[in-house]
Amino acid sequence: MSFGGKLAHRQLGETDLHLPTLGIGGAMFGGLFATAPRRVSMSTIDRAIAAGVTYFDTAPYYGLGRSERVIGDGIRRHPHILSTKVGRVLVPGMAENAATMGWPDPLPFHPFFDYSYDGIMRSYEASMHRTGLDKLEILLVHDIGEVTHGPEANAKHMQDLKGGIKALQELKATGAISAMGLGVNETAICMELMQQADWDVFLLAGRYTLLEQESLGDLLPACLARKTSIVLGGPFNSGILVGGETWNYQTAPQDILTRVTALKATCTEFGVELPAAALQFPLAHPAVTSVIPGMRNPVELEGIIRWISASIPQEFWQALKDKELLHPDAPTPLGNPYYEQEMDDA
């Protein structure tokens, strides 16, 4: 699979890691909402690596171990960067409610939350075994915050996380990991925890997209000041920006549908594919290092490569601002600095 160019790379925080501007979110390889045949997942991973997409994100929660296992098998013999998550520990025994979690074909484990020192260390060691790798480059605290837990339970988890942060700092100091961060769906917890540790990266799902730019006012400038990188998950807001009907994993409300209709109309006016704009827009902000959409198969991978490598005229972005479809202060791409086109020798 050749795409006539290569992905640009950006430094992650102040670490020695440099991530490609496009990575892969691994929830689909865990079978999110639909069974993920192993051979299809492995073929997708092989083709992604061949195309220069060498950054993968996963979590114990994705398929209750299935995603970590598949991705580990797929990347083991190739140069790669992997992020996985801590905060949920898997214990043997089939989770009776796995399907309601979104995993129709999970491995036989069930998860429980543990953000303590021992919980983070236990989760890290288990991920090493499931992936079969000799190093996990990035560890992210998964789903801490009131959105997931509610105020009362989150207060308890935040107390436990004081020990968990020490575990992450020890793992980084010894070289067991190269970077530590959060993997969350909300900005408030990033702002709060920014005061408690030096984080290299926040993997933020869906909170800086064509549909949501509130983080321009607080989180993104704070990340620039502290040299904390953003990896943007969910650039399609769970599907609505790539032809789907869901927004943040629920039926899209009318105001979102109206906004998407207006975005599509402007895309048609300028000959731009909406998913291409959705992938490229977040990367214009200097705090954003990489975007990591999910994908199920090589066909979806090929589409994503096409979108990240597309040329989008500057007039398109200005039109979005003129129509008040983008925040007036949102940085917009100048050309395509995310994908370096190969030049002819002549």
Angle at 261 between CA 258 and CA 263, to 5 degrees: 110
71, 114 Cβ separation under 8 angstroms? no
| Per-residue CA distances from 321 to 220, 280, 318, 329 (Å) | 19, 16, 5, 9
Contact 75, 44 (CB under 8 A): no
Residue 342, Cα to own-chain centre: how many angstroms?
27
Length of the chain: 346
CB atoms within 10 A of CB 222: 18
In this structure, what token pair is assigned to residue 190? Answer: 């990033």
CB 107 within 8 A of CB 60: no
For residue 39, give Cα distances in angstroms to 17, 75, 137, 298.
30, 14, 25, 11
Select from 145, 184, 213, 163 the least CA-distant residue to 61: 184
Query: Which amino acid appears at position 264 of this protein?
Result: K
- Which are the catalytic amino acids? 57, 62, 85
Residue keyed to tokens 């997409």: 53
Residue 6, classed as helix, strand or coil, is: strand
What amino acid is encoded at 234 in this protein? Answer: G
Nearest-CA neighbor of 144 among 215, 193, 199?
193
Place of tokens 């949102």: 330
Cβ count near 74 (within 10 Å): 22
